[in-house]
Amino acid sequence: MTEKTEVIPSQHDAFLEEKAFKSRTVLLFGEINNTVAYSVVKQLVALSGESSAPINVLVCSPGGHVESGDVIHDIIRFIEAPVNMIGSGWVGSAAVNVFLSVPKERRYCLTNTRFLIHQPSGGVGGKASDIAIQAREIILVRERIAALIAKETGQTLEKVLDDIDRDFWMSAKEAIEYGLVSKSIVSEKELT
């Protein structure tokens, strides 16, 4: 018989979360889903309610659920406090949509960050009529994502649609040239 162990956050974890909160830093790591979106949004709203000083969001995420990323994106634009977006590790898929929620001058990355843009995908199943509806929705999301990337990077919509047709990887330098990032930094002292 296997014994179930409950994971209880340690005092150390609580201490680190408190320190991150006091430093006005939100961590967006791992796959984006409803649970992650709720946690990030809760922190953003609380920090903005406390002060209009800038909030730093550190992103290292392969992406995930598009609509969960949309919630984070929209709340970042909704709150009063300005947000600095800092990519690290990799910023992919729906995480790029979150990354693009701030003005270009507030989009940074650390030197080894990689970026991935591509069209959305989804598991499609069910009746033919349901599959047709799901396919139509995926196409609409692809067009919306491409329009956001084009608007926020200065690339043409046609170029973005072509680029996201397949996985399109960029280094930090390439992401700056593409318009995703304003600059690569090595120290938080470089944040404005």
CA-based nearest residue to 91, from 29, 149, 151, 34: 29
Residue 144 CB-density burial (10 A; 0-12 exposed, 13-18 middle, 19+ buried): middle
CA–CA gap between residue 118 and residue 92 (Å, rounded): 8
User: Which residues form the catalytic set?
Assistant: 93, 118
Q: H or E element: which one contains 27?
A: strand 25-29
Q: Please list, in sequence order, all residues whose beta carbon lies within 8 angstroms of the beta carbon of residue 143, skipping any fewer than 6 positions away.
A: none
Question: CB 188: neighbour CB atoms within 10 A?
Answer: 13
Beta bridge partners of 185: 110
Residue-by-residue DSSP string for 173-188: HHHHHHTS-SEEESSG
